[in-house]
Amino acid sequence: MVSVGNTEDDLGKMEACDLVIEAVLERLDVKQSLFERLEKICKPGTIVASNTSGLRIHDMVQGRGESFRKNFLVMHFFNPVRYMKLLELVAGPETDPAAMERVRRFGEDVLGKGIVFGKDTPNFIGNRIGVHAMMSTIHMMLEEGLSPEDVDNITGVPMGHPKSASFRTADMVGLDTFVHVASNCYASLPNDEERAVFEVPAFIKTMTERKILGDKTKGGFYKKAGKDVATFDPQTLDYRAKGGDEAIAKLTKSISKIEDPRERVKKLVTDESKAGKFAWRVIARSLAYSARRLGEITDDPKAVDDAMKWGYNWELGPFETWDALGFVETLDRMKKDGIALPAWVETMKEKGATGFYRDGAAWDFQKNEYVGRKVDPRYATLTVLRKGAAVLKNDGAEAWDLGDGVLGLTFKTKANSLDPDVINLLGQSVERAERDFRAMVIANEGDHFSVGANLFLVAMAAGNKEWEQLRAMVKGLHTNMQKVKYSTVPVVAAPYGMTLGGGLEVCLPCAGVQAAAETYAGLVEVGVGLIPGGAGTLNMLWRALESIPEGVAANVLEYVTNVFKNIALAKVATSAVEAKAFGYFRWNDGVSFERGRQLTEAKARAIGLAEAGYHPPTPRTYVLPGDSGIATMSMMVDTLVAGGYASEHDAKIARKLAVVLNGGPGGASREITEQEILDLECEAFVSLCGEPKTQERMQYMLMNNKPLRN
């Protein structure tokens, strides 16, 4: 629980805290004053941490007692803290190692952060390397006469960096923040051989003086100009229509399609065009600077790589990029270009090193040898856990033995969508798990757990009026979802990212869920003119009503209405916790704050259910609101249409949904079986596929990747 307070009225509450993190104004006198007050309030052993990125620990603890200094350190989070994995921990000269270990465990195990240990130097690891890379890119852009659009085309996905690349990232962060960090480096690094790189160019100073600060001021390097986007021109100091070199745009777009980031960046820097040469200059300078910083900002090359991946969303860190380009080839090319490198890199080559990483070990530049790294078993990937060959496989999915009696099912389709192959293997995997395993886990790879059913196949069948094929597809989904629900061994789903439509329907019948904290779940079929077709209506009712004992006379209208609203309004939960509140997951389902541990935690949950004597649920019947519920929900829909919040087609979809959820017109007069609800869902789904406006919605979504309101 988070409660709000202020430093004037509520500072006394810190007396009960074991850890206090300050994030006040980045001014030494303000921080010193706060620490003086905290020292008088906090109990012995309380750890006080600063979220500073630019001030030295030695300066911040001036005047504080021995106990305070022993329990003081830096915890530098990256913004936005909810989404950014990086947490830099920095100890002062007197920090107790036990205090550092306590904070490491808290940051890693409770907050789910990726920890890197830095040294007490200005801007630590992430911002030192990241801002250097950004500033050197800007200076090179000015030297070579490129535009911001050219630079972003080069330094984004082709380079293994986020789509926001350089200037769009600066707009999101805020130019004032970016300038502050760069200026701090320039002021506090008088002995840095590349200090001049951190000097802010005149055109950016002009932007900050004019309060052109990025997204926070609705304009930065880019801004909306009606339906178009305008670019701030460094030469004219004014906005112009967005443009850029067409040859650069064409090349970088092509390279962006290469899936492996290692191959992508290699293709980019070996290209002889203007884009390739610029990319090489940018990357080579960053790699060399990172190598020269080892020993100063950290002793571990992996800490640099992790900081850039977790704090700047790079796909590859500097040393991983170097390895991808070829260690010796890149070294020789940099030497040929006259780029200064530390002596230990030459020593690596002399000793026959083939890269900074090899066979689970990393090069130790102080020992001049490879040193093995401890591997935390909690971060095991599917590749590590899989035993032998695939137990089952087809073009859409694979099932593997994950060890300890657990079968793991993984989708392989684009965006992990559900197609007939995935649906078939889902059922086959449950049958195999019941026969040869004690539990099953559904765990996918890629950016998202599943974006739902393969809409192209549905649209094609609807366009060709293949109603029986559609009906068979829905019934196949129903059959296999019910196999999951009534499996004699526990099935646990591990959703993350987008878990939409059919993706969520896969989770609903599972015995348990181990969701990543950042899971965006919802039944969004109305956006394409449909209702759920994978037993989503049934299992949402089941989830909503499972706390009501069978046979108990209860007014279930409010429960059913809530399910209706969630589906009809396509409500998407913005976190795993919110998904519980919406009824998409159970309150006792697990949440993994560290995505890297989700697989092993899902496997542990499945084993735990099995060892606790798991028994599947018993099929039940439902007494639903029937006609009165249908009428009530139809009135709600009519109100939305009258107010202009819903179209007539939205209303048609919602009314069909109401019929399903209320058990049909006779739902209140008798007990409704699960099969009857599934039959109602199937009929509503197939009938909607025949609606011209639904077909328009499906086509529009396929072509534009956004919903059509018609």
Nearest C-alpha neighbor of 502 from the set 456, 450, 542, 563: 450
CA–CA gap between residue 319 and residue 330 (Å, rounded): 11
CA–CA gap between residue 229 and residue 242 (Å, rounded): 6
Residue 231: φ, ψ to 5°: -120, 140
Distances (CA, A) of 195 to 185, 187, 192, 285, 335: 8, 9, 5, 13, 21
CA–CA gap between residue 591 and residue 345 (Å, rounded): 43
CA–CA gap between residue 454 and residue 417 (Å, rounded): 5
Q: Is 88 a catalytic residue?
A: yes
CA–CA gap between residue 146 and residue 141 (Å, rounded): 5
Beta strand residue intervals within 427-544, DSSP E: 439-442, 491-493, 497-500, 512-516, 519-522
Beta strand residue intervals within 215-315, DSSP E: 222-225, 228-233, 238-241
Q: Is 76 a catalytic residue?
A: yes
Torsion of CA 544, 546, 551, 556, to 10 degrees: -10
Q: Out of 50, 53, 136, 417, pick the active-site residue.
A: 53
Which residues on adjacent β-strands are paired with residue 52?
none
On whether the CB atoms of residues 560 and 541 are closer than 8 A, the answer is yes
Q: Out of 50, 71, 123, 127, pick the active-site residue.
A: 127
Question: With left for phi above 0 and alpha for psi between -120 and 50, is residue 150 left, alpha or beta?
Answer: alpha
Tokens 């779940």 correspond to 521
Q: Out of 88, 525, 674, 681, pick the active-site residue.
A: 88
Q: What SS3 state is found at 176? A: helix
Burial of 452 (0-12, 13-18, 19+ CB in 10 A): buried
Catalytic residue list: 53, 76, 88, 127
